Amino acid sequence: MSEYQKNSVVQAKERLTDSLFRLTLSAPHIAASAQPGQFVMAACGPTLDPLLRRPLSIHQTSKDGNIQLLFKVIGRGTQLLSDLRPGNTLDLIGPLGQGFQAPQETPVCLVGGGIGIAPLFFLAQTLLRGSFAVDSGLVLLGARTGEEIEQLAAEFNELGFLVEAATDDGSFGHHGLVTDLLPSSLPKMKGVYACGPFAMMAAVAGLCRNTKVPCAVSLEASMACGLGACLGCAIHGAGGGYKHVCKHGPVFDAEEIAWNR
Amino acid sequence: MEPLTTAPMDLRVAVGSLQLANPVMTASGTFGYAAEFSNFVDLDRLGALVVKGISLKPRPGNPPPRIVETACGMLNAIGLENVGLDCFIIKKMPFLRACKSRVIVNILGDTLEEYATLARELSAVAGVDGIEINISCPNVKKGGVAFGTVPEMAAAVTHAVKNVTHLPVIVKLSPNVTDIVAMARAVEASGADAVSLINTLIGMAIDIYKRQPKLANIIGGLSGPAIKPVALRMVWQVASAVSIPVIGIGGIGTAEDAIEFLLAGATAVQIGTANFYNPRATEQILTGIEEYLHQQKESSVRAIIGALGSGRET
């Protein structure tokens, strides 16, 4: 498996909300080999504080060698990443981890919560490159407020997907949880792909188990290396023991995870 | 301008009977079983690969969260997760054996018998060039800590391992002691071929909004650039007090860092946390040491080991 460490040049920066940023980077090696669900480890800067890279899922790739990273500013590391400007370089390692597997059967549902929407766009894009019919996919997006997802919902729409949204404050789509939207369509689904807060994914996993629909989830964890060396990114596995988000994941079959831990 | 022609630099060092092509090693627990870094590092080029600590039986490790970033460093409480001796020999050694770098296996146990069994069995495995005894992991409640903090216990582990192996034995020392020199002297007297130091410094971090420790294990080992001055001081103290080789570890991220340790008396260095944020760190440090030696008009890395002046020269 090819993993690269490259200095990537920032091509564009978009600010979707106060804290939500999207960087377009020239990263031909990573773009050429990335699978949806895989991630990169991004250096926050040249200094020793903050010390560690930040794991960021790949939001989309383009044929001309660009990748996009969609991230939320939650601390000093992501703040520094949000300060990058076009022309700056960003030291990236990737693509890393196990991505989403293509569905065996359709239709499928993509469920994204908050910044967890990031890798689902790459998945949606990739589905359409195959023999996948766009009306065989449903996209459910959830966030705290509408401004976090209005643009992303429009972009999934542009790809051709039917999109339903839910917000905590009711400012866009359903007033409530994104998981409220799933039960009505779940019985006809042949697969679900989910990424978002742990509680959201646990709820999606529970609904899928009850309906016997296969469910893939993409998890996040603090990690120092992303390469399987530090063993910091352990999560509780369903059969006892631990899984490592960086190497076994970040995408798992929902049945592999101990959701009640 | 013509490029400067440079004679090949003599980078060889000896750690006891173990001849290394150069003084740059990986630190146990930061380099997996080496294959994890094969996309980034020429694994034939390093002085030695020190692999993740191995116990007799597999260990699952601690519950998450296991790591937290701190100022210029990180805390970890991995809990010695490893695949166990049998799996290591069958699944991990074939790759390591094919690397031209020396392979040193870090071992850990709860009892003297476990250490001796590990050392005995590993001594019969082709491709294992040395043993590093981990007597200093702060994260496991039983056993390990006393071996690393009581000189007589450290001496007993060293003796137990030396009795059953012909391989060079390195004892990795904990900084979480009152007198690290006493620990070094105790293991030297028991036959250790070298000491490596320092392991992590025990630390803690708290989430003030949850009012909870940030690590599930509450405490963990601090590593990274933050600990380098402490490590350097201890390496200098130990190197001044023992006659066996000292391997310097602690916050080394650049060639300049590594050279400081060599000047302080370390015969070799191990690169740890830097592998996490810069997977090419080991090779870059090796190249940087070589450049420094050329620039300093030295012909051998051995010329700078312990070459520290006695005080500030004016």
Q: How many CA atoms lie within 13 A of B82 on its CB side?
A: 26
Count of Cβ atoms closer than 10 Å to residue B283 Cβ: 18
* CA–CA dist A104, B268 (Å, integer): 54
C-alpha distance from residue A129 to each of A33, A122, A168 (Å): 15, 11, 33
pLDDT band at B5 (very low <50, low <70, confident <90, very high): low
- Does any CB of chain B come closer than 8 Å to the CB of residue A224? yes
pLDDT cut 70: percent of chain A above it: 100
Q: Are B246 and B224 in contact (CB under 8 A)?
A: no
- Looking at residues A13-19, what average pLDDT do you find? 95
The answer, yes or no, to whether residue B68 has pLDDT greater than 80, is yes
Instruction: Identify the CA nearest to B145 among candidates B51, B206, B215, B221.
Output: B221
pLDDT at A134: 76
The answer, yes or no, to whether residue B263 has pLDDT greater than 80, is yes
Question: Tens digit of pLDDT for each residue in B94-116?
Answer: 999 999 999 999 999 988 999 99
pLDDT at B110: 87
- What lies within 8 Å, CB to CB, of B17 at 6+ separation is B168, B193
pLDDT at B258: 98
pLDDT at A250: 98
pLDDT band at A131 (very low <50, low <70, confident <90, very high): confident
Question: Among the listed ranges A53-57, A157-161, B183-187, which one has the minimum average pLDDT value?
Answer: A157-161
Question: Tens digit of pLDDT for each residue in A60-112?
Answer: 999 999 999 999 999 999 999 999 999 999 999 999 999 999 998 899 999 99
Instruction: Identify the CA nearest to B202 among candidates B110, B264, B277, B140.
Output: B140
pLDDT at A136: 85
- Looking at residues A235-259, what average pLDDT do you find? 96
- Does any CB of chain B come closer than 8 Å to the CB of residue A102? no
The answer, yes or no, to whether residue B298 has pLDDT greater than 80, is yes
Q: Ramachandran region of residue A194, left (φ > 0), alpha (ψ -120 to 50) or beta?
A: beta
Which residue among B72, B87, B99, B137 is the active-site one? Answer: B137
Q: DSSP secondary structure string, chain A?
A: ---EEEEEEEEEEEESSSSEEEEEEE-HHHHHH--TT-EEEE---SSSSS-S-EEEEEEEE-TTSEEEEEEE--SHHHHHHHT--TT-EEEEEEEESB-PPPPSSS-EEEEEEGGGGHHHHHHHHHHHHTT--GGGEEEEEEESSHHHHHHHHHHHHHHT-EEEEEETTSSSSEES-GGGGHHHHGGG-SEEEEES-HHHHHHHHHHHHHHT--EEEE-----S-SSSSS---EEEBTTSSEEETTTT-BEEEGGGB-TT-
On chain A, the residues whose CB falls within 8 A of the CB of B73 are 51
Higher pLDDT, A154 or B140: A154
Residue B118, token pair as written in the block = 């590990």
Nearest by CB to residue B61, choosing from A1, A43, A234, is A234
The answer, yes or no, to whether residue B136 has pLDDT greater than 80, is no
pLDDT at B143: 53
The answer, yes or no, to whether residue B314 has pLDDT greater than 70, is no
User: Quick one: which H or E segment has residue B284?
Assistant: helix B281-295
* CA–CA dist B154, B115 (Å, integer): 12
Q: Are A53 and A113 in contact (CB under 8 A)?
A: no
Average pLDDT, chain A: 95
- Looking at residues B209-225, what average pLDDT do you find? 97
Please state at what angle helix B112-123 crosses helix B151-162, rounded to 10 degrees. 30
Bridge partners, A194 (sequence order): A111, A217
On chain B, the residues whose CB falls within 8 A of the CB of A231 are 61, 66, 78, 81
- Does any CB of chain B come closer than 8 Å to the CB of residue A93? yes
pLDDT at A132: 79
Q: Are A248 and A95 in contact (CB under 8 A)?
A: no
pLDDT band at B310 (very low <50, low <70, confident <90, very high): confident
pLDDT band at B274 (very low <50, low <70, confident <90, very high): very high
pLDDT at A133: 82
Cβ separation A231–B61 shorter than 8 A? yes
- Looking at residues B23-27, what average pLDDT do you find? 98
pLDDT at B19: 97
Bridge partners, B195 (sequence order): B171, B246
Distance, CA of B305 to chain centre = 18
What's the length of chain B? 314
Cβ separation A225–B72 shorter than 8 A? no
The answer, yes or no, to whether residue B3 has pLDDT greater than 70, is no
Cβ separation B72–A228 shorter than 8 A? no
pLDDT at B140: 52
- Looking at residues B51-58, what average pLDDT do you find? 96
- Looking at residues A182-194, what average pLDDT do you find? 95
Question: Among the listed ranges B146-150, B265-269, B299-303, which one has the minimum average pLDDT value?
Answer: B146-150
Instruction: Identify the CA nearest to B269 among candidates B214, B232, B226.
Output: B232
Nearest by CB to residue A222, choosing from B60, B68, B225, is B68
- Does any CB of chain A come closer than 8 Å to the CB of residue B51? no
Count of Cβ atoms closer than 10 Å to residue B111 Cβ: 14
Question: Tens digit of pLDDT for each residue in A202-226?
Answer: 999 999 999 999 999 999 999 999 9
pLDDT band at B42 (very low <50, low <70, confident <90, very high): very high
- Looking at residues B238-253, what average pLDDT do you find? 98
The answer, yes or no, to whether residue B141 has pLDDT greater than 90, is no
Cβ separation A222–B69 shorter than 8 A? yes
* CA–CA dist B236, B257 (Å, integer): 14
On chain A, the residues whose CB falls within 8 A of the CB of B76 are 224, 230, 232
On chain B, the residues whose CB falls within 8 A of the CB of A235 are 64
The answer, yes or no, to whether residue A232 has pLDDT greater than 60, is yes
pLDDT at B144: 56
pLDDT cut 90: percent of chain A above it: 92
- Looking at residues B30-48, what average pLDDT do you find? 97
- Does any CB of chain B come closer than 8 Å to the CB of residue A133? no
In the residue annotation, B72 being an active-site residue is answered as no
pLDDT cut 90: percent of chain B above it: 90
Q: Are A237 and A260 in contact (CB under 8 A)?
A: no
